[in-house]
Amino acid sequence: MQFHITTQLPYTQDDFKLIRDAIYEYSGIHISHDYQGIFMRRLERRVTALGMESFHEYYYHLKYTQGNQDEFRNLMDVITIKETYFFREVDQMKTLINEIIPVLQQEKQRETIKIWSAGCATGEEAYTLAMLCIEKGLHVGSSRVEIFANDISQEAIHKAKQGVYRQTSFRTTDSSYLTRFFIPQPDGSYKIHDDVKEPLKFFCINLQDKNRLTFLPMFDAIFCRNLIIYFNDESKQKVIDSFYQKLLPKGYLFLGHSESLINFTHLFKLQHFQHSLVYQRSA
């Protein structure tokens, strides 16, 4: 039996594997062996907060206590990596707004374009889309453009709904956006204007939970960036299948710069736009 000393509480490889597999089953997040030390240190905070004395005890609580879905939800707040910021990989958003939406509006003669920020973390991605739409003269709300955003972390969604951000979220934000769309707060943070915030629909949903996804409408575009890097091929496949189901024919899927579907599925084709490459669902 091998013990590791990266945590105050000792753990075995079996403890790690059992909890890792339970997390994978629930969320699709694959925790690699290299990340084990950091993961167990994060997890330890949750175990001790619950007053438990071992990872083993925690595993049984997670798996077998009635209402364990609540604990899975709490666990997601602890283990997910919610790194994000405003205007991240903004060229893709500009492609949607300047090149794709005008064509959709002409072709489909529809009132509303629906966009989904899947795995939005604390909301910066969804708010950036909203600001760029407003800047372009598009009405964000029940007509023209509707923006939905979800994350598995309830804490992240709570923060997104509050819409209050610190400097680190603005690392690539032009100050003109801060002036136009945010209200400075006495503690140095910035609060997004209510008229940008109110029309956005934030909700806590696990992308691996197909049943909950059925309640979502069909989308013209999905942004799912910097998320499937945490999935293995099996969970990536599940989520890509769900996006296929939730995208209108010829709808667009935006992945992060380090993520790709090459040699993975024939359901999407890579399309070249002026400043970005975007996956398009088959018709």
Ligand X SMILES: C[S@@+](CC[C@H](N)C(=O)[O-])C[C@H]1O[C@@H](n2cnc3c(N)ncnc32)[C@H](O)[C@@H]1O
Residues in contact with ligand X by CB under 6 A are 27-29, 80-84, 88, 119-121, 125, 151-153, 156, 206-208, 225-227, 230, 256
139/166 with CB nearer ligand X? 166
Which residues lie closer than 8 Å to 63 by C-beta, 6 or more apart?
18, 22
User: What burial class does residue 34 get, using C-beta atoms within 10 Å of its C-beta: 0-12 exposed, 13-18 middle, 19+ buried?
Assistant: exposed
Q: Which amino acid is at 7?
A: T
Q: Which amino acid is at 157?
A: I
Q: Are 21 and 15 in contact (CB under 8 A)?
A: no
Phi, psi dihedrals of residue 214, rounded to the nearest 5°: -65, -20
- Provide the minimum distance between the beta carbon of 33 and ligand X in the complex, in angstroms, as a whole number: 19
Query: Smallest distance, Å, CB 124 to ligand X?
Result: 6
Please say which residue, 11 or 200, places its beta carbon nearer to ligand X: 200
CB 2 within 8 A of CB 46: no
Q: What's the closest the beta carbon of residue 196 comes to ligand X, in angstroms? A: 18
**Least distance between ligand X and beta carbon 210 (Å):** 11
Residue number, 59 or 230, with CB nearest to ligand X: 230
Token pair in block for residue 95: 């492609």
Measured over the CA atoms of residue 34, residue 37, residue 43 and residue 47, the dihedral's sign is: positive
Q: How far is the CB of 279 from ligand X (least distance, A)?
A: 15
Determine how β-strand 190-192 pairs with β-strand 182-184: antiparallel
Q: Minimum distance from CB of 173 to ligand X (Å)? A: 13
Comparison of 119 and 163: residue with beta carbon closer to ligand X = 119
By C-beta, is 11 or 62 nearer to ligand X? 62
Of 15 and 125, the one with the shorter C-beta distance to ligand X is 125
| Least spacing, CB of residue 283 vs ligand X, in Å | 27
Q: What angle do CA 149, 154, 155 make, to 5 degrees?
A: 105
Q: With respect to ligand X, which residue has the nearer C-beta, 13 or 38?
A: 38
Least distance in angstroms from the C-beta of 2 to ligand X: 29
Is the Cβ of residue 153 or residue 173 nearer to ligand X in the bound state? 153
